[in-house]
Amino acid sequence: MLSILAAGSIFFPGLFLLSKRCLKHAPGLKWSEGDAVIVSARLVSSVQAIMASSAGYIIASSCKDIIEDQHWLTSTYILFAVPYFVYDIYAMFMCYWYKMQVKGHEEEGAVKPMGTAIGSYLRREFLMVLHHVVMVTVCFPVSVFWRQGKGDYFQGVMFLAELSTPSVCLGKILIQYKQQHTLLHKVNGALMLVTFFVCRVLLFPYLYYAYGRYASIPLYMVPLSVPWHCNLGASLLMAPQVYWFSLICRGAFRLFSGASRHQRPPLGSTNSDPKTPILPPANGYSPRETEREPSSH
So where are the chain's domains? 2-262
pLDDT in tens, 144-170: 888 888 899 999 999 999 999 999 999
pLDDT in tens, 163-174: 999 999 998 888
SS3 category, 277: coil
Per the CB < 8 A criterion, the answer to whether 97 and 41 are in contact is no
Using the Cα atoms of residue 208, residue 210, residue 214 and residue 216 in order, give the sign of their dihedral.
positive
Per the CB < 8 A criterion, the answer to whether 15 and 47 are in contact is yes
Per the CB < 8 A criterion, the answer to whether 85 and 162 are in contact is no
Q: Of the ranges 5-9, 12-16, 28-32, 221-225, which one carries the lowest mean pLDDT score?
A: 28-32
What's the predicted TM-score (pTM) here?
A: 0.80
- The answer on pLDDT for 248 being more than 90 is no
How many whole angstroms separate alpha carbon 234 and alpha carbon 241?
11
- The answer on pLDDT for 140 being more than 70 is yes
Radius of gyration of the chain (CA): 20
Residue 257 binned pLDDT confidence (cut-offs 50, 70, 90) = confident
